[in-house]
Amino acid sequence: MTRLAMVHTVGALESVFADLASELGPDVETTHVVDEALLGEAIAAGHVPESTAARLERTVREALDEGADLVLVTCSSMGHVVDRLAERSGLAVLRVDEALADRAISLGQRIGVIATLATTLEPTADL
């Protein structure tokens, strides 16, 4: 059985993603880690500080060490960190908005980004 760990920066998202995972991947075992401070620190700084990025990396590594086959980070504000982590370490980690961006690109040449947080705009637009 495939094991998926999800890292959330908003506690309310755990149940949303649990329901989606159950519906779309009933054969996938899921676990959830919630660390709202990750997003809080990014909002306060206007970007993801290195100390926050290091904590996210530790969280991803711990999830993989505990048996996850893949880690999905469900916070778009963490996008650059996830990209750097995957490139640098080869860890099995994905950002939540990657499929969304792929779909948008397949539908048109001009894409707009609307976000609820300023810290989401740059990582998503860069993607």
For residue 28, the cross-strand partners are 2
Token pair for residue 98? 């990657």
pTM: 0.91
Sign (positive/negative) of CA torsion 76, 5, 9, 59? negative
Rounded Cα–Cα distance for residues 80 and 38 (Å): 13
Q: What is the pLDDT along the chain (127 residues), one digit of tens a residue?
A: 899 999 999 999 999 999 999 999 999 999 999 999 999 999 999 999 999 999 999 999 999 999 999 999 999 999 999 999 999 999 999 999 988 888 988 998 888 888 888 898 888 888 7
The CA distance from 83 to 25, in Å, is 24
Residue 120 has a pLDDT of 84
pLDDT at 21: 94
Are 48 and 118 a contacting pair, CB within 8 Å?
Answer: no
